[in-house]
Structure 1
Amino acid sequence: MMKALELDDLATRFRFAEASVGVLGCLSVGYAVWTPCWFGGRGLWTAENTTTGTDSIQAPTPSLSPALEAEQVFAVLSFLMALASGLLCLIFACCWTSQTVRSYSNTRALLMVGQALFPTTLMLITLAPTGFFFLVCWSLFTKQHWEEISADPGSLGSSYWLGALGWALLLGVLPGVFLVEQCLVPDPLPQLREAAEKWWRVRACQPYDPRSFSEGHAQTDSAFLRGEKRYMSFP
């Protein structure tokens, strides 16, 4: 049975920490994309009004500059990635445990390819591009309004600063935590291989009995799952 928020070893604590950083970064990105408080009450979706012709009576018509169009494209892309990545982080934070993939079939498949799959690496792979795409959007907005921002930096709103916090978490804090994890948390594959070999030796020594096969399978599975508490995570 899965136990939510398992934090009983170093590996799971790092997994939960990186998932929390990812969720905070995705929330900041999502808030920044869809709120207008970037600069002076304007946001990514505010079109600049321009007048056409020389007639002063003619009403102004909104136009989109290429820079604003690029901002919006990267904003939508980063929001969609933040939505998917945030859900992935919640799954790894709340549902993933050290025993999630310690089944016979998953263990055999992982040992055959000689690789382990670590959730923290998968989160880094999805969250880093999210932060990068939003950084491009944020940088384009800053470049386009740089003269106004330089003249009045106090007009920068909460969306702008939360956006900066979002890409900083996803591109700075998260990779830093990941690197520390790689240095401190040992590779669980050797322990998993040892546990699997013990499991297979026990199975090989047991005579085949159709009536007790299910019971023996369940007992050895339980013994294997109670082995050293290591988690398999996505690389």
Structure 2
Amino acid sequence: MKLLELDTTTSRFRVAHCGVGLAGCLCVSYAVWTPLWINGRGLWSEWAETENDPMTHKDGIAVNAVEAERVFGVLAFLMALSTAALCLVFACCWTSETALSYSNTRALLMVGQALYPTTLLLLTTACTGFFFLLSWSLFTYEHRVEIGQDFTCLGSSYWLGALGWSLLLVVEFIVFIAEQAIVPDILPDLEKAVETWRNASQQKFIQRPFSDSYRSDNKKALAPKRVMSAP
């Protein structure tokens, strides 16, 4: 295991993805469980219900925006935990040689696609940021009157939450686009590796002494055969 491999362009982009994703997950986790959103209150604070509270009515069924933002907040927190673990694995355990392993190379060439850890990171960070963005947007919409009256009432949890979904949705996507434009495809390297292994195995078979194959054939021919006795 090589901690934070930065020898190649691919590894530097991978570490950048992991760093941005980990920072976004920390911001989201902090924002979900801290009360410093508006005037010392947050997602889990008890808000006084009045007739002016924003509710969505359809067919006589009232949907409480507070419950929805809490549900999306919990989903975002769970996704943040798994995404942060994935970022640590790819940053600390994944190296440039991992994708060139023999079993992985054969599997990739069979399907004609390369395994990019940053693609998986982009998917997980996008889901995490999307769930939290829903929670953050619902909270902002619900308290838009208070925010409009006093912009300074917003606390650190609110702003760190905004930073979190920005990192997970915007910055990660920008880094991914830059990686696709700069880093070359690894499939040619995988094909060369497979061809090298094939040539090495063929060369080893050709250089095998004739006497060894002759002895092995004689041993097979002189091996005692089981004779079945007649009843």
Aligned to 2:38: 39
User: Structure 1: which 4+ aligned runs deviate by more than 3 Å?
Assistant: none
Amino acid at match of 1:44: L
**Counterparts of residues 36-185 of structure 1 (less than 5 Å):** 36-50=35-49, 66-185=64-183
Secondary structure of 2:48's aligned partner: strand
Amino acid at match of 2:81: L
| TM-superposition CA deviations, 1:113-145 (whole Å, max 9, x none) | 111110000000110011011001000000000
- How large is the Cα RMSD of the aligned pairs? 1.9
Select the structure of larger CA radius of gyration.
2
What is the Cα deviation at residue 102 of structure 1? 2.2
Provide the identity percentage: 61
Amino acid at match of 1:92: F
| TM-superposition CA deviations, 1:48-97 (whole Å, max 9, x none) | 2359xxxxxxxxxxxxx710000100000000000000110111011110
TM-score (normalizing by structure 2): 0.82
Q: In 2, distance between residues paired with 1:121 and 1:101?
A: 14
Q: List gaps (5 residues or longer) in structure 2.
A: 51-62, 209-231
Indicate how the Cα distance of structure 1 residues 50 and 202 shifts in structure 2: closer, same or farther if over 3 A, else same: closer
Secondary structure of 1:25's aligned partner: helix
Amino acid at match of 1:35: T
Secondary structure of 2:165's aligned partner: helix
Aligned to 2:226: none
Aligned to 1:6: 5
8 Å Cα contact 2:34/2:157 also seen in 1: yes
What is the Cα deviation at residue 112 of structure 1? 1.1
**Counterparts of residues 220-235 of structure 1 (less than 5 Å):** none
Q: In 2, distance between residues paired with 1:161 and 1:144?
A: 16
Give the number of equivalent residue pairs.
197
Q: In 2, distance between residues paired with 1:187 and 1:101?
A: 12
Q: In 1, distance between residues paired with 2:143 and 2:48?
A: 15
Amino acid at match of 1:12: S
| TM-superposition CA deviations, 1:181-218 (whole Å, max 9, x none) | 000000011111112101111111212999xxxxxxxx
- 1:204 matches 2:196: no
Secondary structure of 1:206's aligned partner: helix
Indicate how the Cα distance of structure 1 residues 183 and 44 shifts in structure 2: closer, same or farther if over 3 A, else same: same
TM-score (normalizing by structure 1): 0.80
What is the Cα deviation at residue 149 of structure 1? 0.7
What is the Cα deviation at residue 101 of structure 1? 3.3
Secondary structure of 2:97's aligned partner: coil
Q: List gaps (5 residues or longer) in structure 1.
A: 52-64, 211-235
- 1:195 matches 2:193: yes
